[in-house]
Amino acid sequence: MRATYITAIVIALVLGVWLLSGQLGSEGEFDHPTLAEINDQQSAVAQDREPSRVRARIINASRRFKHVVVRGKTANKRTVVVRTELSGRIVERPVERGTPVATGDLLCRISIDDRQAGVVESREALNQARIEYQGRLQLKARGFQSDTAIAQAKAKLAAAEAQLQRSNLDVARTNVTAPFTGIVEDIHQEIGDYVTPGSGCATIVDMDPMLLV
């Protein structure tokens, strides 16, 4: 019995010491506040501070310009090399580089040579074909000409008219003119040069409008 009492007393003493050690150790621990307590503390501190000073002003909208630097070059609307349509020698060239020209202005003139004579010959051939055709019509009215002969005379008259038109065109084509208003950029022929169909006479540039590329 005495051993049992002694054991109980020892256990009681151990428990007492253990309880006392917990109370002594809890006095030095940090007390963690809750989130609500932290918010309350910060609100209290903010209310104790002096009001913050702010400065205000009215700002009105205004137009702002932004400058951008770009690289580019000017370019003309179109460039055309005016070419000859006939063979012959250049006898006149009234323009130089940089000369402003209007539509129809002369750029180069090719020698007429025998082209004017061809016009005269074609005109006389047309007169003859017309007289023959009229004469055959009169003979047909009297019953001395067939329809075939009349058709041949009419075809000859039409051929003579076409030949006269070609001769007049050849004479007109001796004058190489500007197709539009512009500036002479380059000259390809000099007086005395012999040209063939398709030879360049002058280069014309159209400067209206100017393009910025």
> Averaged over 189-213, what is the pLDDT?
90
CATH number of the domain residue 200 falls in: 2.40.50.100
Query: For residue 9, is it within any domain?
Result: no
Per-residue pLDDT, 7: 77
pLDDT band at 46; cut points 50, 70, 90: low
Query: For residue 48, is it within any domain?
Result: no
> Averaged over 90-104, what is the pLDDT?
94
Query: For residue 20, is it within any domain?
Result: no
Domain co-membership, 105 together with 183: yes
Domain co-membership, 155 together with 126: yes
Residues 6+ apart with CB under 8 A from 113: 88
Domain co-membership, 201 together with 119: no
pLDDT band at 52; cut points 50, 70, 90: confident
Query: What is the rounded distance in angstroms from the CA atom of residue 24 to the CA atom of residue 19?
Result: 9
Query: For residue 117, is it within any domain?
Result: yes
Nearest to 194 by CA among 107, 86, 96, 95: 86
Query: How many folded domains does the chain comprise?
Result: 2
Domain co-membership, 125 together with 168: yes
> Averaged over 88-95, what is the pLDDT?
94
Mean of per-residue pLDDT scores for the chain: 85
pLDDT band at 48; cut points 50, 70, 90: low
Encode the chain in three state secondary structure.
CHHHHHHHHHHHHHHHHHHHHHHHHHCCCCCCCCHHHHHHHHHHHHHHCCCCCCCCCCCCCCCCCCCCCCCCCEECCEEEEEECCCCEEEEECCCCCCCEECCCCEEEEECCCCHHHHHHHHHHHHHHHHHHHHHHHHHHHHCCCCHHHHHHHHHHHHHHHHHHHHHHHHHHCCEEECCCCEEEEEECCCCCCEECCCCEEEEEEECCCCEEC
Domain co-membership, 77 together with 96: yes
Query: For residue 134, is it within any domain?
Result: yes
Strand 74-75 to strand 194-195: parallel, antiparallel, or no bridges (unpaired)? unpaired
Q: Using a pLDDT cut of 90, give the percent of the chain over it.
A: 45
Q: Which domain holds residue 88?
A: 73-110+178-213
Domain co-membership, 198 together with 106: yes
12-39 pLDDT, tens digit per residue, is 787 777 776 655 555 545 556 777 777 7
114-154 pLDDT, tens digit per residue, is 888 899 999 999 999 999 888 888 887 887 778 888 889 88
Whether the bond into 209 is cis, omega within 30 of 0: yes
Domain co-membership, 101 together with 183: yes
pTM of this structure: 0.57
Quick one: tokens of 119?
């016009």
Domain co-membership, 140 together with 99: no
Nearest to 202 by CA among 77, 80, 75: 80
CATH number of the domain residue 149 falls in: 1.10.287
Query: For residue 146, is it within any domain?
Result: yes
65-77 pLDDT, tens digit per residue, is 888 888 888 888 8
Domain co-membership, 201 together with 116: no
Per-residue pLDDT, 92: 94
Instruction: Examine the pLDDT at 49 and tell me if it is beyond 80.
Output: no
Per-residue pLDDT, 8: 75
Query: For residue 44, is it within any domain?
Result: no
